Amino acid sequence: MLFSYNWLQEYVKKELPKPEKLAELLNMHSFEVENFKKTKDDWIFDIKVLPNRAHDCLCHTGIAREIAAITKGRMQLPKTKKIKTQKGKLAPLKVRIQSSELVPRYTALVIEGVTVGKSPKWLKERLQSVGVNSIDNVVDLANFVMLELGQPLHAFDYDRIEGNQMFIREAKKGEKLETLDEKALTLSEGMLVIQDAHRLIDLAGIKGGKVSGISHNTENIVLQAANFNAASIYQTKSKLQYQTPAANIYAHQIDPSLTIEALERAAELLSELKIQGKITQVVDINPQKVKPKRIVLPMHFLESLLGIPILQKETKQILQSLDCKVKMRQSHMEVTVPLRRVDLTIPEDLAEEIGRIHGYETIPAIFPTVSLALPPKNSELLWQEKIRDAFKEIGFTEVYNYSLLGEKDFSQFFYSKKEKDGLVALENPQSSDFSHLRGSLMENLLKNVGDNQKKTRLTARRVIRIFEIGNVFSKDQGKFNQTHMLGAIVSDGGFYEMKGICDFLLNSLGITDISYDEYQATPEKSRSALWNKAKSAELKVDSQEIGFLGEISSALASSVKITKPVGALSINVDKLILLASEEKAYQVPSRFPASTRDIAILVPLQTKVSEVMNVIERAGGTLVSDIDLFDIYEGENFEQGKKSLAFHIVYQADDRTLTALEVDTMHNQIIKAVQENPEWEVRK
């Protein structure tokens, strides 16, 4: 909100500090001054009044009071006039409220015989300096008092209130109202409105209705200073997206006793602004009298919370400068806070007042006294970081992608309606491109590959290896699910490369019982359009499925303009971490030399490597220390439907050097075992 330096000066007895100094003082003790600018003969401050002070500081006296407290100065309050009614001709205005909860206080003056005209020059200038246009003396009066005291005022044309009656109530659904600024509103149930005998005349606390507004012909007015339910005003202004200064103040809840103060100030200004007229009636519905709050402030409370001793004398002085009444007791202070300070209710609130006025910069930095016992380790986090390190070790770059995706992605990545419905949707998305929470990391990773290849088209293309760890979301059976996932992509990588990466990762997490199964479409777990089913697998540990790996379907890859096969893996990190283990035991490597024999076996195309390896392992026994597949070959040289698997078989004993004879014997055993299968043939 904008504040005028000259205007603020009117309420502070001492001369204000220079603008620059004033800005710094306010920054350090009250509110952030966003900027301050010189005008012809004034300085305008843009001050970010904090939400908990909107009820007393969205006005010049409020900020002036802050300045007085900070600079140890004194306030001089604006002149007011006790309200006295005079006899008049107007029929009395009858005001009713639906409930005291909705309208804690309703106060208004009926003023007969006013002159609506131009405002004096000083008033116009005051208003304009803080960005408010001058309309006429009555509207300007209302705005001026609000900017001065923080109580919104509103003027109705008395003669346009039909039946001399007002009823303040909640609107019914669909009721219509045109406001002074000619907005045609359709109201929802519960919005606070004022009606006269026949129609709606006001959107209470937010904006006057067009039908009851004043004009140059207005002779009699109702000057309202009311107090409305803050939550109700907040809801209405949020629902209608309707911001007015009055609505903003009301939404923050103000002190109900302010209404009279504001009207007394207005009464004082009537003749000065040549509005004249006589007050014939005072309406004051005040169902819930508010009493000042009393807070007990224990003597040692401040020091223990702030960490600095502050003299009692100073504490008292600061509180008094904020209009609190202070009584000293044996072990505590009894502090009565002014009604205006709706925010002060507990000792901590007072600690904040004293701390900030005294100055937080005076508080010394002192380390807390704590136990040296180590806190428990967060093992989930440790493993997560270990996964990151593992990928870094094998040349992957980590990416972070957005959590939101939308229509563009759905069409680019062939989402079926069912798949889309399984995603978590935002109720209030910013755009259709970011309307849902991601259900997988893969789409964005694929886009990353496409984008990077596009950028490096002219330079040498290198294999892109990227990974991401992040949360993905889904919903089923009325529940939202959040899953911690790992996704990795290799731009020119096949199934075997991804399998090697998986093996490496799991080994580095101490996970051993790994197996790979044929890909089975389980749509709820993995989008089936994602994978090339012939070249993908499920990753299992202890026969529990924890992820997928393999090649991305070529249709998907080409949708992001990638032509080479894309290898990918997608693993549930939560499940992975549960299986991870730090236990490692050193195994003494054999001191004796190893011998290697090769074997090449012709097998049917559909035969799995693992089947052959199992046979070799069983036949070889304990002295076979490693079986290493070094070639898979499907070629023209073989009969239809056959492929060749070539292995190095490493023989080694822990306690002796194996003789050539021993090795040959074992190797022959293996050859024999392999050839027991009539479809397998050992190549010579």
Partner 1 sequence: MDIQELKNKAKEALKTASNLEELQSAYKAYLGKKGEVTLILRSLAELKPALRKTKGKEANELRDFFKDAFKQRSKELRRLQSQKQKNRERIDVTAPGKRLQEGHLHPLTQVQRKAQEIFQAMGFVVVQGPEIETEWYNFDALNIPADHPARDMWNTFWLKQPENSKFEIRNSKFLLRTHTSPVQARYMETHQPPLRIVVPGRVFRYEAIDAHHLFNFYQLEGLMVGKNISVGNFKAVIQEFYRQFFEKPVSIRLRPSYFPFTEPSFEIDMRFGKSDWLEMMGAGMVHPNVFKTAGYIPRQWTGFAFGMGLDRLCMMKYKIPDIRLLYSGDLKFLQQF
Hey, which residues between 406 and 425 contact partner 1 (CB under 8 A)? 424-425
Q: Which residue from 299, 306, 602, 650 is in contact with partner 1, where contact means CB under 8 A?
A: 306
Select the residue interacting with partner 1 from 40, 217, 368, 418 (CB under 8 A): 368
Q: Does 430 bind partner 1 (CB under 8 A)?
A: yes
Pick the stretch among 150-158, 301-309, 322-330, 605-613 that binds partner 1 (CB under 8 A).
Answer: 301-309
Residue 586 sits in the site that holds partner 1 (CB under 8 A):
no
- Residue 225, C-beta contacts closer than 8 angstroms, at least 6 positions apart: 107, 108, 151, 152, 153, 258, 259, 260, 262, 263, 266
Site membership for partner 1, residue 235 (CB under 8 A): yes
CA contacts within 13 A on the Cβ side of 649? 29
Strand partners, 279: 111
Q: Among 14, 28, 181, 515, which residue sits at the site for partner 1 (rule: CB under 8 A)?
A: 28
The residue (of 31 and 414) whose beta carbon lies closer to partner 1 is 31
Q: Does 448 bind partner 1 (CB under 8 A)?
A: yes
**91 vs 363 by CB, closer to partner 1:** 363
Give the Cβ contact number of residue 418 at 10 Å: 9
CA 556 remoteness from chain centre: 33
- CB closer to partner 1, 116 vs 354: 354
Q: Which of 314, 393, 542, 598 binds partner 1 (CB under 8 A)?
A: 393
Identity of the residue, 221 or 249, whose beta carbon is nearer to partner 1 in the bound complex: 249
Size of the site for partner 1 (CB under 8 A): 95
Q: How far is the CB of 353 from partner 1 (least distance, A)?
A: 9
Verify binding: residue 380, partner 1, rule CB under 8 A.
yes
Site for partner 1 (CB under 8 A): which residue of 35, 217, 376, 583? 376
Show contacts with partner 1 in window 471-530 (CB under 8 A). Answer: 471, 473, 475, 477-480, 482
Find out whether 261 and 56 touch, Cβ atoms under 8 Å.
no
**Any idea of the CA torsion for 490, 495, 501, 505, to the nearest 10 degrees?**
120
User: Among residues 212 and 474, whose Cβ is nearest to partner 1?
Assistant: 474
List the structure tokens of 142: 């209302």
Task: Tell me if 30 contacts partner 1 by CB under 8 A.
Answer: yes
Residue 444 contacts partner 1 per CB under 8 A:
yes
Give the pair of three-digit tokens for residue 14: 């001492």
- Should residue 464 be labelled a site residue for partner 1 when binding is judged by CB under 8 A? yes
364 part of the interface to partner 1, by CB under 8 A: yes
What 3-state DSSP class applies to 126? helix
**Is 233:203 a contact under the CB 8 Å cutoff?**
no
Residue closest to 355 by CA, chosen among 402, 297, 282, 423: 297
- Indicate whether 332 belongs to the interface with partner 1 (CB under 8 A): no
Q: How far is CA 655 from the centre of its chain?
A: 65
With respect to partner 1, which residue has the nearer C-beta, 6 or 403? Answer: 403
Residues pairing with 547 in the sheet: 539, 571
Least spacing, CB of residue 146 vs partner 1, in Å: 17
- In angstroms, the Cα distances linking 502 to 494, 576, 628 are 13, 11, 18
Tell me how far CA of residue 395 lies from CA of 391, 441, 451, 465, in angstroms: 7, 19, 19, 7
- Site map (CB under 8 A) of partner 1, residues 49-68, x = contact: -xxxxx--------------
With contacts defined by CB under 8 A, name the span among 129-137, 158-166, 303-311, 633-641 that binds partner 1. 303-311
Taking the C-alpha atoms of residue 117 and residue 138, their distance in angstroms, rounded to an integer, is: 8
From candidates 313, 455, 457, 591, binder to partner 1 by CB under 8 A: 455
Would you call 397 helix, strand, or coil by DSSP?
strand
Restricted to residues 333-362, the positions that interact with partner 1 (CB under 8 A) are 346, 348-349, 351-352, 355-356, 360-361
395 binds partner 1 per the rule CB under 8 A: yes
Strands 397-398 and 465-476: parallel
Report the C-alpha gap between 628 and 563 in whole angstroms: 32
Q: Are the C-beta atoms of residues 570 and 440 closer than 8 Å to each other?
A: yes
Site for partner 1 (CB under 8 A): which residue of 169, 465, 527, 535? 465
Which one of residues 85, 98, 128, 397 is an interface residue with partner 1 (CB under 8 A)?
397
Site for partner 1 in 171-200 (CB under 8 A): none
Identified binder of partner 1 from the candidate list 131, 163, 429, 500, rule CB under 8 A: 429
Q: What's the CA gap between 308 and 328, in Å, rounded? A: 20
Tokens of 3: 């504040």
Q: Does 578 bind partner 1 (CB under 8 A)?
A: no
- Coil/strand/helix, residue 550: strand
